[in-house]
């Protein structure tokens, strides 16, 4: 009996990270709750949300594992040598208008035409907009993007932050925070470039981005947004006070060497699933003034 009670008491104790997370949640809870209610009421008045409560359904297939598989595959590929880097980029569509068979990994690939192009990778089709370029690689193999010679007005990052549940499930590899400093953002960012980083609800990650990562790159924090996730009827996707998962995430927005005041805003998403593509689409819609974007997915 004594051993059982001892184990139970130890299990209920929170570590310092969990204590910090709970304190942060209590600090922002009223802001999340009041802001979400206001936004949900406004969106519902425009007819974008249902009145009835969502029925429990089977989850849709997640793209997360496929994206993780792409990253793992990229890690196994050889680095691009100096001669290939001199070529800078390759065209997705040949001069005769036909799709060319190019190696999509670790080479900057451009769609230089006026039409969208479709590429198939690992059984999935991807639409590449006209006059765009992409680099599909592990973040340690980002040299072709640096050698591309173009600067970007918007840099969006969704790092695989270290997380206990992710480690247990092994859905994808985590990245120590310190490794993010290796990203050559100053070599990619144009003057006054907007840098956006998705951050989990661990205060240590938020402090790292604010106090270490952005200053290391010469980026000044200009705003911190909450992305609140609700269902199609306006309900939180997880209970607001759940000790395991919260229905919100944070975005830290900064300018490459600017001087503006700090502000806080909300972004409301009424989709259940956390998909990087949706995040990027939402951001590019919200930040309509940015013309050239670089999305750093890990």
Question: Tell me: the pLDDT tens digits for 46-95?
Answer: 988 877 665 555 555 555 556 666 666 666 666 555 555 545 678 887 66
Q: Which of 106, 107, 108, 121 is nearest to 76 (CA)?
A: 106
Tell me if the pTM is above 0.95.
Answer: no
* 97, HSE (Cβ side, Cα atoms, 13 Å): 2
- Per-residue confidence band for 267, with pLDDT thresholds at 50, 70 and 90: low
Which residue has tokens 């059982």? 4
- Separation of alpha carbons 110 and 94, rounded Å: 11
How far apart CA 51 and CA 43 sit, in angstroms, is 11
Quote the CA–CA distance of 206 and 227 in Å, as a whole number.
14
Residue 152: C-alpha distances to residues 12, 124, 148, 293 (Å): 48, 28, 11, 6
Closest by Cα among 148, 215, 133, 150 to 180? 215
Residue indicated by tokens 């001199």: 86
Domain ranges in the chain are 16-49+150-297, 79-149
pLDDT of residue 89: 76
57-71, 108-122, 211-225 — most confident range: 211-225
pLDDT digits (tens, 9 = 90+) for 152-188: 999 999 888 876 655 555 555 667 788 899 899 999 9
Which residue's entry shows tokens 């001069």? 95
Segment 213-240 shows an average pLDDT of: 93
pLDDT > 90: what percent of the chain? 31
């Amino acid at each position: 009996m004594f051993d059982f009670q001892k184990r139970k008491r130890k299990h209920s104790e929170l570590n310092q990270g969990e204590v910090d997370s709970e304190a942060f949640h209590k600090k922002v809870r009223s802001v999340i709750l009041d802001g979400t209610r206001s936004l949900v009421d406004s969106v519902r008045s425009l007819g974008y949300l249902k009145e009835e409560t969502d029925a429990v359904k089977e989850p849709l297939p997640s793209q997360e594992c496929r994206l993780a598989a792409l990253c793992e595959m990229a890690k196994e590929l050889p680095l691009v040598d100096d001669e290939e880097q001199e070529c800078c980029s390759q065209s997705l569509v040949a001069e005769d208008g036909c799709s060319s068979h190019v190696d999509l990994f670790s080479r900057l690939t451009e769609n230089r035409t006026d039409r969208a192009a479709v590429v198939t990778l690992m059984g999935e089709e991807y639409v590449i907009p006209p006059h765009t370029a992409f680099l599909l690689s592990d973040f340690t193999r980002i040299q072709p993007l640096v050698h591309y010679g173009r600067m970007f007005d918007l840099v969006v990052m969704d790092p695989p932050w270290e997380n206990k549940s992710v480690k247990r499930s092994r859905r994808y590899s985590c990245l120590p925070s310190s490794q993010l400093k290796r990203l050559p953002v100053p070599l990619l960012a144009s003057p006054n470039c907007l840098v956006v980083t998705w951050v989990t609800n661990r205060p240590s990650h938020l402090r790292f981005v604010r106090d270490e990562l952005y200053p290391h790159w010469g980026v000044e924090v200009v705003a911190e947004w909450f992305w609140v996730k609700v269902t199609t009827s306006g309900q939180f996707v997880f209970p607001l006070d759940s000790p395991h998962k919260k229905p919100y995430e944070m975005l830290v927005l900064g300018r490459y060497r600017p001087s503006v005041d700090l502000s806080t805003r909300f972004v409301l998403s009424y989709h259940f699933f956390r998909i990087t593509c949706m995040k990027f689409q939402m951001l590019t819609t919200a930040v309509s003034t940015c013309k050239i974007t670089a999305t750093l997915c890990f």
